[in-house]
């Protein structure tokens, strides 16, 4: 039986520019609570030793929310070491684990703005840990026609049979992920859009675990209504009548 443990890193130092608001999207109201509450609670089925929430050093919101977050999320740690990019924040989270995580432990990284992660997807990730030595990620097959375009005009249609929409959590064993991310940040930081891309640069082929449509990333204002729908559909939130 494997003795490897499991850790989760949630990078939350971004400002969510595409939402267009004054408040970072992870702190926006979603079904009566900050979006971040829902995201952190959704990670419970992973059964991690700890969940490391990495925020910006100057984050003005987290102090007031910390007591409620820690009361709802066992094992939550808040680290004010976030960087200017997602990759830098994840690297800071891995650095915080350096003296606790064994090289074979699994580290999963989850977007702060994905509040509707389902328990079934978490179970699928746990099940794949002993099989995915190159890492793994949730993803969904592309089910829409994809075009290439220049100056607003279609240039061609892309074969979508091998295309997948990456989701999170994404992860790998601690030593593998830490090395891949450190090397990628040193060589081509602009090319690292997620953890899988860092692993790919090392020549690894992370395993795809089929995800769910409900695991959306809140990016635009209209996504909040959709996330509310999925929270209700999953039985995590019930609207109250006035």
Q: Domain residue spans in the chain? A: 6-233
Residues near 224 by Cβ (< 8 Å), separated by ≥ 6?
Answer: 28, 30, 35, 218
Q: Note the helical H segments in the chain.
A: 35-42, 62-72, 86-97, 119-128, 174-187, 195-201, 223-233
User: CATH assignment of 6-233, given 3.90.550.10, 1.10.490.10, 3.40.309.10, 1.10.3470.10?
Assistant: 3.90.550.10
* Distance, C-alpha 207 to centroid of its chain: 16
The predicted structure's pLDDT at residue 96: 98
How many Å apart are CA 172 and CA 204, to the nearest integer?
Answer: 11
Q: What one-character DSSP code corresponds to residue 235?
A: T
Which residues of the chain are under the pLDDT cut of 70? 1-2, 15-21, 241-242
Residue 1: what pLDDT? Answer: 47
In sequence order, what are the beta bridge partners of 77? 52
Say if residue 72 is exposed, middle or buried (CB neighbours under 10 Å; 0-12, 13-18, 19+): middle
- Contact at 8 Å (CB) between 7 and 48? yes
Residue 210 CA to residue 217 CA, distance in Å, equals 16
Cα separation, 90 vs 75, in Å, equals 18
């Amino acid at each position: 039986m494997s003795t490897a443990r499991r850790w989760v890193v949630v990078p939350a130092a971004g400002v969510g520019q595409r939402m267009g608001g004054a408040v970072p999207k992870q702190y926006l109201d979603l079904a009566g609570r900050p979006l971040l509450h829902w995201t952190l609670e959704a990670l419970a089925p992973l059964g991690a030793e700890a969940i490391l929430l990495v925020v910006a050093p100057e984050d003005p919101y987290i102090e007031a929310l910390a007591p409620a977050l820690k009361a709802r999320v066992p094992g939550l740690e808040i680290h004010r070491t976030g960087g200017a990019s997602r990759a830098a924040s994840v690297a800071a989270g891995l650095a915080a684990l350096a003296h606790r995580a064994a090289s074979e432990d699994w580290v999963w990284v989850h977007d702060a703005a994905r509040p509707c992660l389902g328990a079934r997807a978490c179970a699928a990730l746990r099940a794949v840990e002993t099989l995915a030595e190159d890492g793994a990620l949730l993803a969904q097959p592309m089910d829409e026609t994809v075009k290439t375009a220049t100056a607003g005009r279609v240039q061609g249609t892309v074969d979508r049979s091998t295309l997948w929409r990456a989701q999170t959590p994404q992860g790998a064993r601690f030593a593998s992920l830490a090395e891949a991310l450190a090397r990628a940040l040193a060589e081509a930081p602009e090319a690292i859009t997620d953890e899988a891309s860092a692993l790919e640069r090392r020549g690894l082929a992370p395993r795809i675990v089929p995800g769910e449509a409900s695991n959306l990333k809140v990016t635009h204002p209209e996504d909040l209504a959709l996330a509310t729908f999925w929270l209700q559909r999953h039985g995590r939130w019930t609207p109250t009548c006035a």
